[in-house]
Structure 1
């Protein structure tokens, strides 16, 4: 591959300076200073129906942050690939409305039907759709296939551009690691992950980088794979702020029933922190949470000895984390909100991070966070499949440097949609 095809440092500095002046969309609107030319995007999507991740991400590129025709990101959709088309499909109507070409292969989508790569970034959304499940309960979305075909196209046409992979790569560990390794080998700016680390937090809590976090407990809900990644990403985006982090995880274990609650009774995990996290999430079942027949625990130990505990409960319907900071007598706890109006706004903050990467050529935060949470999730599901066996995880010795990237409502897109995120 010709080095001249890579994004250069001059390109990065120029685009970062431009982004600092404000942004504009294909619809055009006033910015703080100057207009910035939108970056072009190719979208590779599993399915595009109302309320899917494709709808609440790509829909914001086409129709603005609130999907009402108003201001939006400085991005322009140039091409579209949809793997499955249902009777609820939105892609054909949206493509016709906004004059977006729809292609039948990923290569044609990335090249926009030509013989070069004219786009500035690729969004890959392998989420939702009719795909099989494996014996561990993981739905085998085509995220690796999508990424392989995208990056094969990069190789063929000797140019790379940034790629965002929605949710966790994989979802099985071997596929996640393959995707990560290929991105590094080809020097592709690569981001992935959940929208929840970027969402509203109620209440706001202050956890400065380098904090002495003594313990933490997370609570998640719904399916172990589909929502477990959201719970783990929420947990990790806070505990990665502890002093000396992040060096990875040395073992994982899945527990349920009496064995799960014994972890609290024996003091291995703090009951006070569990209670604090539980107090922040709405309940959908009355009574003692310990009688939740479908509850499970992701238990894992980091290489530095810090204990990770994420309780997956079916008696609640939101995600929370509680922390114990050294010198503070009371736990800090917060809920990671999932608002639906207007147009699932937490996805606007995820798209803001993607927009920033496409303009600067640099990930807004480390993909290693999502690689680590993907590995924790996959290995914990392995433990569950093996009857709760504790599994050593030398492959999860993943090091990365935390980036202090802000979350909603900083900036408040609804009042100042053109404001770029601070460095």
Structure 2
């Protein structure tokens, strides 16, 4: 049995079903939140940025014996000159934080990271760091975080549970496959859930021939322009409908009519540097969360007549089991010192999302992205195995 590694949790808020709860709660109370199986991690300190009326962190600190700290430095060092943890979890999701003019939620992810590495620098030590979801709202902050981690040789993992959740059918693209076109399907907030849809796209297309070389340009589409671009062949109706076919939670009738007039509907067009063109379709008004979510992916491989498609299947009730596979990836990094998949995936999706939000703000103009020359090689870290939880078990 591996020894339990000590971790600090740095969170925006800790309430029922917040990201802090569904991630850190699995370390404290088991993968099922009822004592059923634990990762080899132990929460020893926690910094909480905001305390809503339904805060859980104070009661959990008493129950489990971890220390609630006033600063991030204290959570990592207990005020001494050595790090007292083997890993740091930065969970900057949920809580009351402002939005900027582009509609980006300004969670304090860079601040959390900056104060963490300041403690590392003071102690002249580093430990692995996990950052939940995208690195930051803006490319500038995200790239700065990435560069600081590289400079210090900090093992760095980021992203959400979407690349790790169940896939129905359990699709893995062959390494080096030739992808002719790809479409991801999503729902929810254009930034908050658009990131998830981008991750489902990226964790699949990164396996194509030549692996990832970055993104040349993006454009946000809304209203009739969505379907005009489809009719011109700029993104694929066939692939969209292959994804839709796998999603159980959708409205009846025509999807074009269902999303008409919905301010949350939109499409992200993505031009990769190697020539691949992909789209993320946020079909709010047609698909909805339901039990298993409405994230799907479809692509066309060279030489194959039929599209390949899969539904990224979630458990949208406690214990939110898809997060268990994110916790297992975090555990693997903290135990070994090696991230199980590249943080560059999250760096790229962060940059794409920022550019998409800029395109939307600037009346849907095409945004060239020479800065997104992000190159990396994918790994074969597994996603959740069957069986997936049934909707009514």
Displacement after TM superposition at 1:327 (Å): 2.1
**Correspondence for 2:244:** 278
**Correspondence for 1:269:** 235
**Correspondence for 2:125:** 159
**Correspondence for 1:146:** 112
Displacement after TM superposition at 1:41 (Å): 0.3
Within a 5 Å distance, the mapping from 1:38-77 to structure 2 comes to 38-77=4-43
Pick aligned residue for 1:393 from 359, 363, 369: 369
1:307 and 2:273 matched: no
**Structure 1 Cα separation of the partners of residues 248 and 273 of structure 2:** 33
The list of structure 1 runs, each at least 4 consecutive aligned residues, that deviate by more than 4 angstroms after superposition, is none
1:404 and 2:370 matched: no
Pick aligned residue for 1:384 from 360, 369, 379: 360
User: Retained in 1: the 8 A contact 2:185–2:297?
Assistant: yes
**Higher mean displacement: 109-118 or 359-368:** 109-118
Pick aligned residue for 1:332 from 298, 303, 308: 308
User: Retained in 1: the 8 A contact 2:8–2:88?
Assistant: yes
Displacement after TM superposition at 1:313 (Å): 1.1
**Correspondence for 1:347:** 323
Displacement after TM superposition at 1:342 (Å): 4.9
**Structure 1 Cα separation of the partners of residues 246 and 354 of structure 2:** 27
**Structure 2 Cα separation of the partners of residues 304 and 70 of structure 1:** 46
User: Retained in 1: the 8 A contact 2:27–2:42?
Assistant: yes
Displacement after TM superposition at 1:116 (Å): 1.3
Displacement after TM superposition at 1:413 (Å): 11
Pick aligned residue for 1:245 from 192, 211, 215: 211
**Higher mean displacement: 201-210 or 241-250:** 201-210
Give the match's secondary structure for 1:309: strand
Displacement after TM superposition at 1:284 (Å): 4.3
Pick aligned residue for 2:224 from 258, 266, 269: 258
Displacement after TM superposition at 1:285 (Å): 3.3
Within a 5 Å distance, the mapping from 1:172-251 to structure 2 comes to 172-251=138-217
Displacement after TM superposition at 1:159 (Å): 0.4
**Higher mean displacement: 190-199 or 106-115:** 106-115
Displacement after TM superposition at 1:185 (Å): 1.1
Structure 2, unpaired ranges of 5+: 289-293
Structure 1, unpaired ranges of 5+: 1-34, 415-423
Within a 5 Å distance, the mapping from 1:60-99 to structure 2 comes to 60-99=26-65
Displacement after TM superposition at 1:177 (Å): 0.9
Give the match's secondary structure for 2:216: strand
Displacement after TM superposition at 1:266 (Å): 1.2
User: Retained in 1: the 8 A contact 2:172–2:204?
Assistant: no
**Structure 2 Cα separation of the partners of residues 258 and 122 of structure 1:** 45
Give the match's secondary structure for 1:44: strand
Pick aligned residue for 1:105 from 58, 71, 89: 71
**Correspondence for 1:133:** 99
Give the match's secondary structure for 2:7: strand
Give the match's secondary structure for 1:396: coil
User: Retained in 1: the 8 A contact 2:130–2:330?
Assistant: yes
**Structure 2 Cα separation of the partners of residues 276 and 408 of structure 1:** 22
Give the match's secondary structure for 1:214: strand
**Structure 1 Cα separation of the partners of residues 127 and 155 of structure 2:** 7
**Correspondence for 1:369:** 345
**Higher mean displacement: 107-116 or 399-408:** 107-116
**Structure 1 Cα separation of the partners of residues 172 and 135 of structure 2:** 29
**Structure 1 Cα separation of the partners of residues 248 and 353 of structure 2:** 24
**Higher mean displacement: 46-55 or 275-284:** 275-284
**Structure 2 Cα separation of the partners of residues 116 and 143 of structure 1:** 23
Give the match's secondary structure for 1:127: coil
**Higher mean displacement: 109-118 or 318-327:** 109-118
Question: TM-score scaled to structure 2, two decimals?
Answer: 0.94
Q: Residue by residue, what CA displacement relative to the aligned partner does 1:260-305 show, whole Å, maximum 9, x if unpaired?
A: 1112111222211111011122344333211212321100100000
Pair 1:373–1:409, CA change in 2 (3 A): same
Pair 1:85–1:256, CA change in 2 (3 A): same
Displacement after TM superposition at 1:226 (Å): 0.4
User: Retained in 1: the 8 A contact 2:166–2:388?
Assistant: no
User: Retained in 1: the 8 A contact 2:179–2:302?
Assistant: yes
